[in-house]
Every structure is written in C-alpha cells, then in structure tokens.
Structure 1
C-alpha cells in the first residue's frame, strides 16, 4: 500500500507526491527539493481522513 499526499502552502504548495513505502499517513512530513534551487519545509497532516474522492491526504506548511 502507498500514501498519496498533497502539500498546501510553503515551498511545496500544490505538489502531489506518492510515498510507496508508507502504509498510513504520518502526523508530519519533511519535504525538500535540491534542484534547481534548495527548498524545504515541514508539513503537518490537516485532516483525520483522506479526501473521499481522490484518496489524497492533505498536509499544511508549518515551517522552513
């Protein structure tokens, strides 16, 4: 099983990413990108359940 998440706000705003090694949503995730420039952020789970239509978990930006 995998977990699909959508990041809201911060440097990853609008990014949808799949985590194939996870079997459940975690309370927070660290996101980073090295190219073309370094960006990073910590995101926290926004809801107790994934979106009922897409199955995507929503994470909101909290810090760099």
Structure 2
C-alpha cells in the first residue's frame, strides 16, 4: 500500500504543468510593452528580404519622408 495517499501523483501533475508553462509560454504577453515597427522599419525589412525592388524602396522612402 501507498502511505502517501496519492499526493505524489498531484505533485507530478503540478511539475508537468509547470514545465509545460515554462516551455510553451506565449511570446506575446498582453501586459508586456512591445515595440511596434514603424512604416520605415517595415519597408527596410521588405527590401532586405527582397520582396520589393530598389526602385520601389527608394520611391516609398520619398513618399514616407514627404508625409512627415
């Protein structure tokens, strides 16, 4: 017979939930302040990834700078 009365099963469950929470915690926690990318940052990233051409990049830079 088990003299713990099943408590060791509860502790196993607690540890499993704790480890799952540590490894699978969401990266976007609502109360954390995250930096939003500016339109210029988004444009630079798209150009760096090759999604837009140099001409499109330069034209978009002119448009964004003229709006400020």
* TM-score of the aligned structures, taking structure 1 as reference length: 0.18
* Structure with the bigger percentage of helix: 2
Which of structures 1 and 2 has the bigger CA Rg? 2
* Structure with the bigger percentage of strand: 1
* TM-score of the aligned structures, taking structure 2 as reference length: 0.18
